[in-house]
Structure formats: C-alpha cells, structure tokens
Amino acid sequence: MDKLRGMETFIAVVEHGSFTEAASHLEMSAVMVGKYIALIERQLATRLLERNTRRQSLTDAGRVYYEEAKRVLEQVSIAESSVERLRLAPAGTLRISAPTSFGACVMAPLIATFLQQWPDVRVELDLTNRLVDLVDEGFDLAVRIGDIHQTDLVAKYLCAYRMVICAAPAYLSRHGTPLTPADLAGHLCLSHTVWTARNEWKLPGVTQEVRWRRDAVLRCNDGYGLRMAAIAGAGLLLQPEVLLGEDLASGKLVRVLEAYTPNRARFICSGVRIFARCRS
C-alpha cells in the first residue's frame, strides 16, 4: 500500500475520532481504513491506537507517529507547491553572457523590466566580448553578434540592428566627409579589437560589397571607450546605432557613408538547457 496514503489515513483517524468518520472524510470504506492502520502497525511492529467499543486513544508510539507523519505530509505539500510554481512561472537563476557595450546599454534595462514581471528569477549578466563556452562555464544563454559557426549550439535569430559609421564634427572639418568607400584612404579609423581579425570593414555597396582595409589608430576592447574617443575627434567609428543614439541626436557625432552602412544580425544562443538548469 501507498505509505503516504497510509499516513494520511492514520492522521484522519486520529483527528476525526473513528474509522467510520475517517473513511467518510477520505471517501473510502471503513474496512480499507482498518487495513491501512493494521499495515502501518505491522510494519512498525507496535500498536499506535488503543481501541474498544466506545473509544480509541493514541499510544505513546502513536503520538510520536502522528506528529512525524503530519510533518512528512506538510513537507510533501510544500514540495509539490514549489514544483507547481516552477511550472506556472519562471524561477531560479538565469546566467547570461552578452557583449560588453550591448549588454550594458540595451540588455540591462530590458532585464530590469523582465525582473519586474518575474520576481522569482535572479539574473547573472556577464558582460564580455569573449566567446564563452556555455556548457563548461555554466551559462544558460548568450547573446552574440553576427553568424553562429558553432554547430553544437542552438541559435535563435533575434533581430537585425543598424550599424552606423560616424565621426565628430571637428574630425570631419579637419579630414573632410567621406562620400564613398574610395574616400576612406586618407581617414583615421577607430576599431574594436574583437572586430579586427581581418583588419577590414565590410561595407555593402550598391552593386557589391566593398572592403576597406585599414590600420586603426586606436583599437579598444570597450565600445564606450571608442565612443568617447570618437566624440573627441580621434577618427571614424563603426558601432551599433543603438549605442550612439543620443550622441547622433545631439550632434556630438555625425553619420557618414549611410548608403554603405553594414547590418549585423544578433542571435540568442543556447545550449541544451535554456532556462531551468539543475545545479548540484
């Protein structure tokens, strides 16, 4: 017989005062109630109830078993409720890896809204331009730039976002405003270290892609640092528009080569376990 059901039956007998009342409460026969009690006493090799024709009472062992059985069933109920809450709403810790600038400027505000919607979730946002190993480093998901070349990852396309080429007005007054990629030969470039593997910008032209090989006067692994250098007039900058919106609106930075601005895709990448991960 089900041991938890047996505990439930014993508790009902104690609290309702008789086999008959317990049977009515549990919607089973009084005979079945008696079988449960007899089985428990046989398994424990001791009597839990003293019974006669007029009343029943708990033995010392019965009182101990009653209190412990109630605690067991309460814990079972708590466990079931906890699992039910997990099923109905997200809970636990979500570890996310994201590019430094994008994560700080875009994801952090979105995560704040997410946490208001799901108060039982805790987020660990790791900002790095390094390609992390999701499984070995324990990340649940990562947001990455461009195409995904790792075949062991499941990638979901999020959106395309617009890149902009821009510079400070003071820089353009000194070096001129480039109108086509051919005008870039005499210009200074600010470059993110993650994007310099081939030392080139890929610019989509009207008929074909144009590649500008440049020797960056400043390379930096942080988008904010490049932004401040561009505002100070150090050179041309290629960055996501969402990171430079206020500077472009205020005139601190000016767009150039808009017809040749490259688009980059963004993906959300996950391992086998996307949200709920069991950690020992």
pLDDT digits (tens, 9 = 90+) for 247-275: 999 999 999 998 887 766 555 554 333 33
The residues, ordered by sequence, that sit 6+ positions from 39 with a Cβ below 8 Å of its Cβ are 1, 6
Domain range spanning residue 35? 3-88
Residues 71 and 12 in one domain: yes
In a domain, 198, yes or no: yes
Other C-beta atoms closer than 10 Å to the C-beta of 128 total 13
- Read off the pLDDT of residues 35-90 as tens digits, 9 standing for 90 and up: 999 999 999 999 999 887 677 889 999 999 999 999 999 999 998 888 887 677 77
Residues 207 and 237 in one domain: yes
- Read off the pLDDT of residues 146-204 as tens digits, 9 standing for 90 and up: 766 666 677 777 777 778 999 999 999 999 999 988 888 889 999 887 655 555 677 77
Distance CA 110, CA 108 (A): 5
Residue range 122-135: mean pLDDT, rounded: 89
Residues 194 and 144 in one domain: no
Is the pTM higher than 0.75? The answer reads no
121 with 113: CB under 8 angstroms? no
Residues 258 and 226 in one domain: yes
236 with 189: CB under 8 angstroms? yes
Residues 238 and 172 in one domain: yes
In a domain, 276, yes or no: no
HSE (CB half, 13 Å, CA atoms) of 144?
Answer: 20
Q: 195, 184, 196: which is closest to 260 by C-alpha?
A: 184
Residues 258 and 196 in one domain: yes
Residues 153 and 168 in one domain: no
In a domain, 274, yes or no: no
> What is the domain count for the chain?
3
Question: Domain with 100 in it: what CATH number?
Answer: 3.40.190.10
In a domain, 277, yes or no: no
In a domain, 27, yes or no: yes
- Read off the pLDDT of residues 208-253 as tens digits, 9 standing for 90 and up: 666 776 678 898 888 889 999 999 999 999 888 888 989 999 999 9
Residues 251 and 168 in one domain: yes
In a domain, 108, yes or no: yes
Question: Domain with 209 in it: what CATH number?
Answer: 3.40.190.290
In a domain, 270, yes or no: no
In a domain, 122, yes or no: yes
Residues 147 and 188 in one domain: no
Q: Which of residues 55, 88, 121 is at a domain's end?
A: 88
